[in-house]
Amino acid sequence: MAAYLILVTGAFGFIGSHLVESIAKSGSEVVAVGHPSLGDHYLDELLKGEYATRIHPVLADLKSFDAAASIFQRFRPRVVYHLAAIASHRLSFNEPYLYLDNNLRTTLNVIEAARISRVSPRILFASSSSVYGENRSPLTEDLQPRPKGPYAVSKWLCEELAKAYHRDYSLDVVIVRYFNVVGERCRSNIVFRVFADKISSGREVEVNGRVVEGVFRPAARDFTYVEDVVRGTILAAEKGRSGEVYNLGRGVPVSVLDVAYEMMRLFGRNVEIIQRELSPHESLEVYSDSSKARRELGWAPQVGFEEMVKRFIEWYKATYHHPPQDL
């Protein structure tokens, strides 16, 4: 078996599938590792694409160290993009063992397999803005993380694990923190998909926010298009300083109410808006300061809010000809 230089974990999920496509499109061979039974999977789409001959799928449960070590021994990757994780800040509160056990064990197995590999690879670890917790925006990489909830804690602990391996074993690790990534193939629990499912079928939309001085304020998030995030991830692997953390976000807070209104406009359908109080652990406004990535990586997001919503709705309409009715 030939040795392929690039490996992606979480390769069949939302961001991972876009990353695999981008790497293959650039002309590189990519080993795409994914768990066959977790989350939304896009393996079939990857293998039908124009660059499918450069994509080498591997189905494996990376919670097994033997499985992880065997993949590293077989393919000897030079660069590893570690995106595999169970992801949902909100849902993790109901299943702490699932999120903490899966995300920590998977990350430990990947970086330990990398450490003992005959070819010491560069590791790109994909983390989350949720590690910032209650810190006030704009969020910069030098802030002390204050994670709340099992998912956020799992990502923070994985970051600390990666940094420890960099410090103690000289493992070449770069960390990126994603901010509210949206776009085609996004998971069913991401607000773009939730709103599209409901608006397309004429159901009411719940907008989370908080009453401030007697006035309801909808939550605002740093929505960043998946294509921009993938480009930033690749640049971080290519140019990022080992042991460093880079934010990948547009740095522009957008109200979730504006998301609902823009989608209603594009669907040509108005639905009722229901105001809901945010959970205590959720911040009212979250957005990044990504000047470090702009300065050191030469990265800048290119897709604005209206364009990313337009592209998502076009994909959604092409994918779901009959709106789902069972959500």
d(CA 175, CA 129): 12
Residues recorded for the chain: 327
Q: Which top CATH class is 183-222+252-287+304-319? A: alpha beta
pLDDT, tens digit (0-9, with 9 covering 90-100), for 77-102: 999 999 999 988 888 899 999 999 99
**If pLDDT is split at 50, 70 and 90, which confidence band does 181 have?**
very high
- How many C-beta atoms lie closer than 10 Å to residue 108's C-beta? 19
Helical H runs in the chain?
14-25, 43-48, 65-75, 96-115, 150-169, 191-200, 226-239, 256-267, 291-297, 305-319
In this prediction, residue 4 carries a pLDDT of 60
Mean pLDDT of the 51-66 span:
95
DSSP code for 9? E
Give me the helix-helix angle, 96-115 and 150-169, nearest 10°. Answer: 20
In this prediction, residue 91 carries a pLDDT of 85
B/e letters for 11-36, b = 16+ CB within 10 Å, e = fewer, are: bbbbbbbbbbbbbbeeeebbbbbbbe
Across 163-272, where does the E strand assignment appear?
172-178, 181-182, 205-212, 215-218, 220-221, 224-225, 245-248, 254-255
| Token pair in block for residue 79 | 């660069």
pLDDT, tens digit (0-9, with 9 covering 90-100), for 264-274: 999 999 999 99
| Cα end-to-end span (Å), the chain | 44
Q: In this structure, are residues 274 and 204 in contact, taking their beta carbons and an 8 Å threshold?
A: yes
pLDDT, tens digit (0-9, with 9 covering 90-100), for 272-322: 999 999 988 889 999 999 999 999 999 999 999 999 999 999 999 999 865
| Token pair in block for residue 250 | 């547009």
| Token pair in block for residue 41 | 């999977």
Distance of CA 135 to the CA centre of its chain: 20
**If pLDDT is split at 50, 70 and 90, which confidence band does 40 have?**
low
| Token pair in block for residue 310 | 């337009």
d(CA 219, CA 8): 33
Question: In sequence order, which residues have a C-beta less than 8 Å from that of residue 52 and are 6 or more positions away?
Answer: 24, 46
- How many C-beta atoms lie closer than 10 Å to residue 55's C-beta? 22
- How many C-beta atoms lie closer than 10 Å to residue 324's C-beta? 12
Place of tokens 């401030």: 212
Q: Where are the domains of the chain?
A: 6-181+223-248, 183-222+252-287+304-319
pLDDT, tens digit (0-9, with 9 covering 90-100), for 145-172: 999 999 999 999 999 999 999 999 999 9
The residues pairing with 211 across neighbouring beta strands, listed in sequence order, are: 216
d(CA 87, CA 101): 13
Pick the CATH number of 6-181+223-248 from 3.40.50.2300, 1.10.1370.30, 3.40.50.300, 3.40.50.720: 3.40.50.720
Query: Cis ω on the peptide bond leading into residue 138 (within 30° of 0)?
Result: yes
| Equal CATH topology for 6-181+223-248 and 183-222+252-287+304-319 | no
Q: In this structure, are residues 194 and 188 in contact, taking their beta carbons and an 8 Å threshold?
A: yes
